[in-house]
Amino acid sequence: MARKTANDDPLASVTLAVGQEDLLLDRAVQEVVAAAKAADADTDVRDLTPDQLQPGTLAELTSPSLFAERKVVVVRNAQDLSADTIKDVKAYLGAPAEEITLVLLHAGGAKGKGLLDAARKAGAREVACAKMTKPADRLAFVRAEFRTAGRSATPEACQALVDAIGSDLRELASAVSQLTADIEGTIDEAIVGRYYTGRAEASSFTVADRAVEGRAAEALEALRWSLATGVAPVLITSALAQGVRAIGKLSSARGGRPADLARELGMPPWKIDRVRQQMRGWTPDGVSVALRAVAEADAGVKGGSDDPEYALEKCVVTIARAARSRGRT
C-alpha cells in the first residue's frame, strides 16, 4: 500500500511518488489526475518521460495560460533527468504555478537524490511506493484491497490468494477485483481455491507446506509444477525457509492460546494452528538439518550449483525426511 505524508491533498502543487512498485506509482498518478478532473473536467494531463522533458520544457508547460486551465504534469523516472532539466525542476519547486500540479515519480535511490531532497525540502506531498518484498506486506495489501472494495474476506482467504498469485501486485489487485465482482458475501479460502487452484498448486508455499508435512512425493510434484510455470527458485527457497523456521519457532515457544502465541511469535493466529498440525514428527535436530538444507539450496539457486533444480529437489526431500524424524532410530 502506498503511504502518504501528512499533506494528503492530491491537488497539492507538487506530489512526489517514491519507489519502484509500478502499480503504486500508477495509482499515485491516477489519484492526482482523478482529483484534478473532478475539479475541472477539462484538465490537461501531460505524462512525460525524461527524454521528453528537455531544458526549458517545464517552463513552457507551466507558463500562465490565456484560459487559466488546470494542468497535471507527470514526470516519470525523475532520477534519470539531465542535470540542466533538474535545475529547471528545482527552480520550479521554489515557485510552483497556480492551477498546476506537478507529479514527480522517483525510484528513491542514490541517483537523482538532489532532486528528491529538493522536493521534500519544498514541502512536496509524498507518496511511498516501495516494492513489497515481504509476504506480510503483500498480505496486508490484499486485505486493504478487500477493505477498499467494501468487502469481507477471511484471513485464510487472503493468505491463500497471496500463496496462489505470488508477488505481482497487479495480479493480486486484479484477483481481488475479480472475486469481489463475482462473489457475494464473505470470501473464504474455498472460494479462492475454486478460482485459483492451478496457481495455488504451483505456488512456492504449496511446495513448502507439503515438504514440512513430510509428503515428499507431493512436494516434488508441486516443485516441478512451480518451476514449469515460471516460479523463481529463490521464491521457493524463501518459502521453504519460512516453513521450517515457523516450525522451529513454535516448537520452542511456551504453550498457550493461538492469540497469545501469535503476539509472541509474530504470526497470525490461524497460522499458529496450521503450523501446529505441520510440526508433528519434527525434532530439534530435524529442524537444524532442514535449515542447513535450505541454506545449501539457497546458495545453489543463486549460482552455487550447476543444477538449481536438483538443488531444490534435494532440499525438499531432506526437509520431508526431517519432518518424519521423530520416532525414527
Q: Grade residue 271 by pLDDT with cuts at 50, 70 and 90.
A: confident
First-to-last C-alpha distance (Å) of the chain: 50
Interval 194-225: pLDDT, tens? 887 656 555 788 899 899 999 999 999 889 88
Q: Which pLDDT belongs to residue 232?
A: 79
Higher pLDDT, 110 or 134: 110
Interval 11-24: pLDDT, tens? 999 999 999 998 99
> What are the E-state strand segments in the chain?
3-4, 14-18, 44-48, 71-75, 100-106, 125-128
Q: For residues 192, 320, 248 and 189, what is the CA-based torsion angle, rounded to 10 degrees?
A: 10
Interval 286-328: pLDDT, tens? 999 999 999 999 999 888 778 889 999 999 999 999 998 765 5
Does pLDDT of 57 surpass 90? yes
For the beta carbon of residue 131, count every other beta carbon within 10 angstroms: 14
Higher pLDDT, 81 or 67: 81
Give the distance, in angstroms, between the CA of residue 94 and the centroid of all CA atoms in the same chain. 34
Interval 112-150: pLDDT, tens? 999 999 999 999 999 999 988 888 899 999 999 999 999
Tell me the three cell numbers of residue 171. Answer: 495480479
Interval 87-97: pLDDT, tens? 999 999 999 98
